[in-house]
Amino acid sequence: MPLHAVPDALNIVYDEKKYLALSLATAPLLAYLLVLATSIPGQTLESWWFSAPAYTKFLVFFAASVLSVILTMQVYTWKNYKKVKKRHTTGGLAGVAATLAATACCSPLLLPLAGVAGFGGFLFFVQTHQLAVVILSSLALLASLYFTSKAVSCEDCRVKAGLEKNVKNPKGA
């Protein structure tokens, strides 16, 4: 398993400044949305900062950072490859799903709503194992980042997946 896939993909994607700008713009937006998802309605950011547990704060800022990178790599792949396989998009969506599942453990609003919807037993488990859920979600985000990076940085992986690079310059140019 080539561990250099993520740094190589970051170099490829962020070589174009517009993708760096996209990543830097989406990270604060995602952090804001995750703060909203993990706070009581009407709660101020200052109040959230002092009332949220450390693992919730970690989840919000770690997930926002990693999800912005995954999103940027997905956009790069969609724009620069002729054909994008569903499994590459699904890998990025798995990171989003893992983050949303983890916010359920930290959200005073989502817990009661999901309980009313019939997910009480699952939510009791999630609530009592919040730290483990945050750790598993973080690992799922890292796996999603790795597999998204593989599609960008690994030549053999792109060929096997049918992600042929658009030819911008003819050979020898």
Report pLDDT digits (tens) over 43-75: 888 998 998 889 889 988 999 999 999 999 888
**Nearest 5 degrees, angle CA 127-CA 43-CA 50?**
70
As separate numbers, helices (DSSP H) first and strands (DSSP E) second, the chain gives 9, 0
- Using the predicted structure, report yes or no on whether residue 152 has a pLDDT greater than 70: yes
The secondary structure element, H or E, covering residue 14 is: helix 5-14
Report pLDDT digits (tens) over 71-128: 998 888 888 776 655 555 566 666 666 666 666 655 666 666 666 766 666 667 777 7
**Lowest mean pLDDT segment, chosen from 15-19, 21-25, 36-40, 60-64:** 36-40
